[in-house]
Amino acid sequence: MRGWKRWLLLGVVVVAVLAVAGPYVYLHFVEGKAPKRLSLSSQGSTPTTDASADASAASVPLDGTWKVTTGSQAGYRVKEVLFGQNNEAVGRTTAVTGDATIAGTKVSAANVVVDLTQVASDQSRRDSQFQHRIMDTSSTPTATFRLTQPIDLPSTTGRVSVKATGDLTLHGVTKPAVADLQAERSGNTIRVSGSVPVTFADWSIPNPSFGPVSTEDHGLIEFLVVLAH
């Protein structure tokens, strides 16, 4: 009986250790760290110092319509907990379209559309939840942000920080939202990075928690948009 109790106690200890160490090992050594926030310093978005590129930019007027082009990304970032271990879930896509209109010192119109059916993370199970139960992309395949107030551009050159007020449509629900933006002209393109905080219930989005994973009731939409005249 004494030996049996010793083995039982050892088994309980092993199970307890695995319950704590297992998720830690998985999140920190198997899954790895979440990718960094999308920003103007992300790969491929650093300003060029090439003289010919500067000359090309000078020949392109600021006024007019700018189209979303190659290099654009958008996605989500949500904090989650797995068996007491903190993690960030990140999903992204390059399926981004849209345009912006600049007149004088104002951005007078802008519209960005993201194909949610193409959003993917590093976990297929998370992606399945996102595509079906959470965002129901078969019924509402896109997310859009449409500018509703003109943006006044600072008179300074280089990188600028502004706020964009618009209508954000998610999960078939449209509500006002404010995006914090950083923008910079680089060569013959304009790059814009930013984020919009989202509380899921406001857009009738089900809580993303599933199985052993629990999430916060809010997350972040982040994006890096490259515009060409």
Among 7-11, 57-61, 105-109, 199-203, the minimum mean pLDDT is found in: 7-11
Rounded Cα distance, 138 and 135, in Å? 9
Reading the block at residue 86, the tokens are 């903190």
**pLDDT band for position 133 (cuts 50, 70, 90):** very high
Three-class DSSP category at 181: strand
What does DSSP assign to residue 120? Answer: B
Three-class DSSP category at 53: helix
Rounded Cα distance, 197 and 215, in Å? 15
Mean pLDDT of 18-26: 48
Mean residue pLDDT across the chain: 85
Residue 70 above 90 pLDDT?
Answer: yes
The pTM of the full predicted model, rounded to 2 decimals, is 0.80
Q: Is the distance from CB of 47 to CB of 184 less than 8 angstroms? A: yes
Rounded Cα distance, 45 and 71, in Å? 8
Neighbours of 94 (CB within 10 A): 14
Q: What percentage of the chain exceeds 90 in pLDDT?
A: 62
pLDDT digits (tens, 9 = 90+) for 176-229: 999 999 999 988 999 999 999 999 999 999 999 887 889 999 999 999 999 999
Rounded Cα distance, 142 and 123, in Å? 21
pLDDT digits (tens, 9 = 90+) for 147-166: 999 999 887 678 899 999 99
pLDDT at residue number 212 = 81
Residue 43 above 70 pLDDT?
Answer: no
Reading the block at residue 187, the tokens are 């060569």
Architecture of domain 34-228: Beta Barrel (2.40)
